[in-house]
Structure 1
Amino acid sequence: MTTEQGDQVSPQVSTSHANESTVKRPPPPETPAAVQTRFRVIAAFWVVIIFLGFPIWWKTTSIYRAHLPIEEMVDWADGKACRPVFPLEIHLATPSMQPIEAQYLLRTTQHTLDDLNEFAAHHLRLKLANDSATVSHNAENGMEGAINAEAQAPDTTLTVRLLAQEGLAAPRSELHAATTQLDVFYPPSQVPVPSSSNSPLSAFIAEELQRLYGEEKATIAHILSGHTGGLDSTSPQLAESISRRLRRSMKYAETYHLSFSLFTPGSEPSSWDIEAAVKEYLSPLLQAFEPISNFTVDTQVQLYANFAPTAPRPEYDEAESAWTLKKEDLSAFVNAAEWPLNPSIGNGPTINFILYVPDPSQSPLIVKENRASSWIVPQWGGVYLLNPTLSNAEQGGQSNPAHLSHDSLGPAFMTFSHQLLTLLGTPSTPASLPLRLQTSIRIRAATLLLSASSTMGSLARLTESLPSIPIPASVASSVSTTLSHLGATCSHLREGRFGAALASARVAETEAERSFFEKSMVGQVYFPDEHKVAVYLPLLGPVGVPLVVSLLKELKRIAAGRKARRAAAAA
């Protein structure tokens, strides 16, 4: 009995001891000093982060964005800031007319011109060449006033000299090819008088002026509006000619590099009078282009310059008694892989001119369709096939001359000069080269004005769409310079000072390109915000999580303590 009771009590005692051993004792309560220390440590970390770390990070990673006049830039791009106009001042010289007759002729001709003009941005303004008002103004203000008046005066585009000639049935005109002068010969009986309602002489002068500047007007309308269909007087042939010329011409640059290359498939010719040819045939033209662009010239001679392996070979034409190249094969004529032709030298584009002397066994070499010996490669350069006249000894030995003389280079360099005019976008009319160069100045000024304005609009849209890219002070300075010169260009155009307008437009285009292609801005365009997150997250994650969790625990402890004190106070 006793044993059974002992057996029954023993398990109960052992079970109670096991329960006591498995119960975990709570940790001792933190002392107020430990709690205060932990709070101070966490607070110290956050104070350093907020008042030291975050300002340093903000300062070192902040992006400087200089102020840009966005609205003004957009207005220039949209054409709201300036509507370019081209008033051409034409002087009438009337040595054989009375002042009253000359004034009446001026008024009637101007009225006829205004009626014929359908493009308001381009208009002709007539003025008597012996205007006494200008002379008296210069005399009153002295030499300094004369100089200032000349600087502020519009450019004289054309001088029309009216010459009476007996025996004429109707007026006729003669344009000087080397000057900006148009001679109009008229019968004395056609001198307009105030009592007449219409004047055949005025109508003739107006029609001649419209014809002289018809291509320029259509070209400027094409540039400003993007098409020539807005002018009813523009024929489809002229519109196609303008579009083809603009497609073939080089992009405008302040400096062009002209590279003249002599290529031959054999060892001769190995020399040429290039300096004399350039000086005689091209130097006058390059000097005339100085108000528009500058030029540098380099030359080279390449012997054993063969056709490309994939280029079609010339074919002999029995009817022409010559070797011929097809038009569709001209694009593969230049062996760009083996011929040393640099696409660009320095900052400006290169215009290549190739003088190719074929082998005597393939001479003469011409283009089959039009029997031409030259052609233009659009926006690149020109090629001329020189088939030298061989002497009897050279014909027997089947060899080219060892040296190309100045006279033999004449036709080639005359062709190169015409090709250069085409590649520079010079209009084909009128026949006077100075007038065509003046037209080029106005066309280039309009082109640069629109190009710089468009660049300003692109820069404004870029800075607004990408707020993370920096805008350095240099960009703001370039933008300010661009807008200033755009305004000057528009003002010069409005007042007829086209040379000054082109000079300002060149500065505006240069500064606009510099601001848009700023290196620091271009680099940030390809560094989006996702990349920044990918860089910061691995660094801040391991450090930020413990700090945030400890801060939340402290805030929770403080809230619980306040709640407990409120409950005790309520009890």
Structure 2
Amino acid sequence: MTTKTGEDSPQASASQLDQPSVKPPPPPESPAALQTRFRVITAFWAVIIFLGFPIWWKTTSIYRASLPIEEMVDWADGKACRPVFPLEIHLATPSMQSLEAQNLLRTTQHTLDDLNEFAAHHLRLKLTDGSTAAHNGEESAEGLKYLAEDTADTALTVRLLPQEGLAAPRSELHAATTQLDIFYPPNQVPVPSSSNSPLSAFIAAELQRLYSEEKATIAYILSGNTAGLDSTSPQLAEEIDRRLRRSMKYAETYHLSFSLFTPGSEPSSWDIEAAVNEYVSPLLQAFSPISNFTVDTQVQLYANFAPTAPKPEYDETEAAWTLKKEGLSAFVNAAEWPLNPSIGSGPTINFILYVPDPSQSPLIVKENRASSWIVPQWGGVFLLNPPLSHTDNQGGPSNPAHLSQDSLRPAFMTFSHQLLTLLGTPSTPASLPLRLQTSIRIRAASLLLSASSTMGSLARLTESLPSIPIPATVATSVATTLSHLSSSCAHLREGRFGAALASARVAETEAERSFFEKSMVGQVYFPDEHKVAVYLPLLGPIGVPLVVGLLKELKRIAARRKAKGAAS
């Protein structure tokens, strides 16, 4: 019997191959497994939401202390305070009757008010019995201590002294005190019925002349120019601009460095301590209400000119070695001379005493025969040409081995004047105490504006960069700054300029501290894009499985609810 098994098998196999293979579905999950998976996903997300996210938020959140932005902007815009400078001037009239003195005061004040063209700076006259006026002979070095010892707000004392034989009044300003003597003919005393007099006009003109540079400087600081003052000459405006450009930026502490440089081995010593105590210390004490000072000295032997500096040339007509003006900028050998640009936190003012080699002595500046010059915003240089009294081992002249205090006097007197210039002290009037008082008012105005401007910059910075932190220390410094700005403005209005400067100094220091807070400055250079670049590599591998698992679980729950709804 024949069978078909062998013939039918290939056909059956081909038929089975043509049919697609069907993968059996996975067995349904048990309710217990579904519940376990739901609990696992819920636990992960519960830890993330209720533990991980709060910890991340707490550890990465930026603390921003509250700042009085509107008040800070008002100070920067000049709305919170308009500085005024009422100068109280005492008028001593020992030889006049009371009615005559009061009439003179009234007419002089009216004349001053008519002449005044800058409302922020005005002179107020006040009668005094003359007990506070300085005596004629008080022109000594003790006058330099006036600002440090006298806390009165009197800007000037004017003593009216009659003198026979005068055709017109004349004035005499004491160089070391704040006293102005005016000598007048006795017949020029204004009578009560007169509204003006030559004596009143003379006093008013003298006071205007004394304070013309101060008024122009304050106008320049407050508005950036002196265009609003008709009485300011172009020469005075140019001089003020030049002085401000040459002076050092204000600092709470300055470091004075006195250096003796010589290209040989002599002189090798100098009476520097005695010279500083005699010529510099009284000036520093007078400046103590404005800034603090430290002093250091050094001696550098074999200090040669820089290779690129022009060499001195011998001038037969002057019988001296000369340096050209255009070569003075390269005179200081900054590469080899040990001159520190700064010591500590404050700027350094360098004073160089250079003793030339005997073969190049005397050494002067060719154009003006000067032996000193100022390097703007850096310091001063003095060329000392001591007498060559003895010979060296080779039989030639040599410098003295030691510089005495007397031989240092010209140099240190020059250094004192250079220091005044570098600190921005006005060149007029001739009285040094009056110039120092002017410096107090000028510094008070500049610090008040500087601190106010810093507050405005800080307000704009915090508003434009919401991602930077604002520590509590910044808020404290801002509060201190605003408080001292208000105090300084109030002291200015009342004519207490020393107290105004003290408050302005604190305000400037606190404003700078708040603006240059390290944590704020560092965060400025760490924008949000950097944060994203840091977090994505860390959170990506962890977040993707969690998000996908959550989506699947939500989809399953939605499908189950949909099935229950259809069944019902």
Partners of 1:21 and 1:272 in 2: CA distance = 111
Q: How does 1:1-40 map to 2 (within 5 A)?
A: 9-18=8-17, 22-40=21-39
Query: Identity over the aligned pairs, expressed in percent?
Result: 88
Task: Name the SS for the 1:22 alignment partner.
Answer: coil
1:262-286 superposed Cα distances (whole Å, 9 cap, x missing partner): 1000001111111221122112212
Task: Name the SS for the 1:553 alignment partner.
Answer: helix
Residue 75 (structure 1) aligned with residue 74 (structure 2): yes
Q: How does 1:318-333 map to 2 (within 5 A)?
A: 318-333=316-331
Partners of 1:501 and 1:23 in 2: CA distance = 95
Larger displacement relative to structure 2 (90-99 or 384-393): 384-393
Partners of 2:20 and 2:174 in 1: CA distance = 124
Residue 405 (structure 1) aligned with residue 390 (structure 2): no
Give the conservation status (yes or no) of the 8 Å contact 1:94–1:163: yes
Q: Which residue of 2 aligns with 1:113?
A: 112
Q: Which residue of 1 aligns with 2:284?
A: 286
Q: Which residue of 2 aligns with 1:246?
A: 244
Give the conservation status (yes or no) of the 8 Å contact 1:74–1:460: yes
Q: How does 1:354-365 map to 2 (within 5 A)?
A: 354-365=352-363
**Which residue identity lines up with residue 355 of structure 2 in the other structure?**
V
Residue 61 (structure 1) aligned with residue 65 (structure 2): no
Larger displacement relative to structure 2 (171-180 or 520-529): 520-529
Q: Which residue of 2 aligns with 1:98?
A: 97
Q: Which residue of 1 aligns with 2:175?
A: 177
Partners of 2:95 and 2:221 in 1: CA distance = 41
Partners of 2:405 and 2:425 in 1: CA distance = 27
1:438-492 superposed Cα distances (whole Å, 9 cap, x missing partner): 0000001111111111111111111111111111111111111111000000000
Q: Which residue of 1 aligns with 2:146?
A: none
User: 1:565 offset after TM fit, Å?
Assistant: 2.0
User: 1:559 offset after TM fit, Å?
Assistant: 1.5
1:83-104 superposed Cα distances (whole Å, 9 cap, x missing partner): 0000000010011111111111
**Which residue identity lines up with residue 65 of structure 1 in the other structure?**
R
User: 1:334 offset after TM fit, Å?
Assistant: 0.3
Residue 204 (structure 1) aligned with residue 202 (structure 2): yes
Give the conservation status (yes or no) of the 8 Å contact 1:89–1:154: no
Q: Which residue of 1 aligns with 2:345?
A: 347
Backbone CA RMSD of aligned residues:
1.9
User: 1:181 offset after TM fit, Å?
Assistant: 0.6
User: 1:20 offset after TM fit, Å?
Assistant: 7.0
1:248-273 superposed Cα distances (whole Å, 9 cap, x missing partner): 11111222111111100000111111
Partners of 2:215 and 2:409 in 1: CA distance = 34
Larger displacement relative to structure 2 (471-480 or 484-493): 471-480
Partners of 1:45 and 1:251 in 2: CA distance = 61
Q: Which residue of 2 aligns with 1:534?
A: 533
Aligned length: 549
User: 1:14 offset after TM fit, Å?
Assistant: 2.2
User: 1:130 offset after TM fit, Å?
Assistant: 3.3
Partners of 1:38 and 1:275 in 2: CA distance = 88
Pair 154,272 (structure 1): closer, same or farther in 2 beyond 3 Å: closer
Q: Which residue of 1 aligns with 2:302?
A: 304
Pair 515,372 (structure 1): closer, same or farther in 2 beyond 3 Å: same
Q: Which residue of 2 aligns with 1:382?
A: 380
User: 1:494 offset after TM fit, Å?
Assistant: 0.4
Larger displacement relative to structure 2 (393-402 or 517-526): 393-402
Q: Which residue of 1 aligns with 2:369?
A: 371
Partners of 1:202 and 1:120 in 2: CA distance = 21
Give the conservation status (yes or no) of the 8 Å contact 1:154–1:496: no
Give the conservation status (yes or no) of the 8 Å contact 2:390–2:398: no
Partners of 2:25 and 2:170 in 1: CA distance = 121
Q: Which residue of 2 aligns with 1:272?
A: 270
1:272-312 superposed Cα distances (whole Å, 9 cap, x missing partner): 11122112211221221122122221111100000011111
1:330-363 superposed Cα distances (whole Å, 9 cap, x missing partner): 0100001110111111122111100000011111
Give the conservation status (yes or no) of the 8 Å contact 2:484–2:504: yes
Give the conservation status (yes or no) of the 8 Å contact 1:106–1:127: yes
Partners of 2:152 and 2:411 in 1: CA distance = 39
Q: Which residue of 1 aligns with 2:312?
A: 314
Partners of 1:388 and 1:6 in 2: CA distance = 137
Give the conservation status (yes or no) of the 8 Å contact 2:389–2:398: no
Q: How does 1:84-233 map to 2 (within 5 A)?
A: 84-130=83-129, 155-233=153-231
Partners of 2:387 and 2:25 in 1: CA distance = 117
**Which residue identity lines up with residue 429 of structure 1 in the other structure?**
T
User: 1:11 offset after TM fit, Å?
Assistant: 4.0
**Which residue identity lines up with residue 31 of structure 1 in the other structure?**
S
1:381-405 superposed Cα distances (whole Å, 9 cap, x missing partner): 1000011122264695221111112
Larger displacement relative to structure 2 (171-180 or 283-292): 283-292
Larger displacement relative to structure 2 (108-117 or 5-14): 5-14
Partners of 1:6 and 1:449 in 2: CA distance = 114
Partners of 1:428 and 1:67 in 2: CA distance = 46
**Which residue identity lines up with residue 162 of structure 1 in the other structure?**
L
Partners of 1:209 and 1:295 in 2: CA distance = 32
Partners of 2:50 and 2:287 in 1: CA distance = 64
User: 1:131 offset after TM fit, Å?
Assistant: 10
Q: Which residue of 1 aligns with 2:148?
A: none
Q: Which residue of 1 aligns with 2:518?
A: 519
**Which residue identity lines up with residue 552 of structure 1 in the other structure?**
L
Pair 130,420 (structure 1): closer, same or farther in 2 beyond 3 Å: same
1:234 to 212, 232, 235: 232
1:8-38 superposed Cα distances (whole Å, 9 cap, x missing partner): 7444422454467832111111222211211
Partners of 1:540 and 1:62 in 2: CA distance = 18
Give the conservation status (yes or no) of the 8 Å contact 2:176–2:432: yes
Q: Which residue of 1 aligns with 2:564?
A: 565
Give the conservation status (yes or no) of the 8 Å contact 2:390–2:397: no
Partners of 2:399 and 2:5 in 1: CA distance = 137
User: 1:186 offset after TM fit, Å?
Assistant: 0.7
Q: Which residue of 1 aligns with 2:452?
A: 453
Pair 491,131 (structure 1): closer, same or farther in 2 beyond 3 Å: farther
**Which residue identity lines up with residue 172 of structure 2 in the other structure?**
E
Give the conservation status (yes or no) of the 8 Å contact 1:89–1:496: yes
Partners of 2:2 and 2:562 in 1: CA distance = 59
Q: Which residue of 2 aligns with 1:487?
A: 486
Give the conservation status (yes or no) of the 8 Å contact 2:314–2:322: yes
Task: Name the SS for the 2:155 alignment partner.
Answer: strand
Give the conservation status (yes or no) of the 8 Å contact 1:171–1:187: yes
Q: Which residue of 1 aligns with 2:143?
A: none
